[in-house]
Amino acid sequence: MRWAMAPTAVPDAIEALRAGQFVLVYDADGREEETDMVIASERVTAAAIRTMRKDAGGLICTTADAAIQDSLGLPFLSELFKDTSERYPVMDELIPNDIPYDVKSAFGITINHRKTFTGITDNDRALTISEFSKLARRAISEEDGWGKRAFGEGFRAPGHVHLLNASGRILESRFGHTELSTALVIMAGMVPSATVCEMMGDDGNALPKAEAKAYAARNRHVFLEGADVIAAWKEFRKE
């Protein structure tokens, strides 16, 4: 990629992700206005999960791009709600069709690896995410439904790791942390899955951007605006 044409912080973020470090990503003013801690799923460890739950405090989720979704047969949760609404009419009423900052929820299913116990411990969640990443890497290159069979053999649902399905054409119609973080790991040449967690403040609201920047500076993390990622992605796609 022509990194000279990308925002200065993006190459640093790419290198940080490759090294298994966190990157902080703020989506945009007027959207969620939240900063997420982002790490490449293939680099997730129990220590990383502990940092996310203690320093960020939001919901720890793992993204999947369209190739992973197709190879593993991953649905959107709202689609499952719709499909079950005839038997459970309340599910039709619960469809998230009024999200104030987006047109569609990225939430997919929740999973645990079958070798976990409760699934919620740092060790268990790290195992689920790292094994999901390993499976995804192989599944997107396999044929004949191998990924779907292996997914069922290795994982159970529901579980304690929330999957987020990236939109099919990343950063064209949806510009959330699911797409921003997935775009970053793709540009890094890694498995197209990132693990993210919203940074929360002690006042019960999202951590203000200025405080997220200060946290990044103290911990030597790269801080990115969503617009930086979008600009870099456009250049990457030209390649």
Q: What is the pTM of this model?
A: 0.94
The pLDDT, as a whole number, for residue 6 is 58
> Which residue(s) pair with 162 in the sheet?
61, 110
Give CA angle at 188 (101, 226), nearest 5°: 25
Q: With a cut of 60, say whether residue 70 has pLDDT above it.
A: yes
- Cite the active site residues: 36, 61, 101, 112, 160, 198
The pLDDT, as a whole number, for residue 156 is 97
Q: With a cut of 80, say whether residue 103 has pLDDT above it.
A: no
* For the chain, percent of residues with pLDDT exceeding 90: 79
Q: Which runs of consecutive H residues, i.e. helices, occur in the chain?
A: 9-18, 46-51, 66-72, 77-83, 89-93, 122-139, 146-154, 177-187, 209-219, 226-238
Q: Which domains does the chain have, with CATH numbers?
A: 3-238 (3.90.870.10)
Q: With a cut of 70, say whether residue 3 has pLDDT above it.
A: no
Q: With a cut of 90, say whether residue 200 has pLDDT above it.
A: yes
* Of 7 and 16, more confident: 16
Phi, psi of 3 (to 5 degrees): -65, -25
Q: Which of 132, 105, 119 is nearest to 193 (CA)?
A: 132
Q: Which of 101, 53, 43 is nearest to 199 (CA)?
A: 53
Compute the distance between CA of residue 136 and CA of residue 37 in angstroms, rounded to an integer: 22
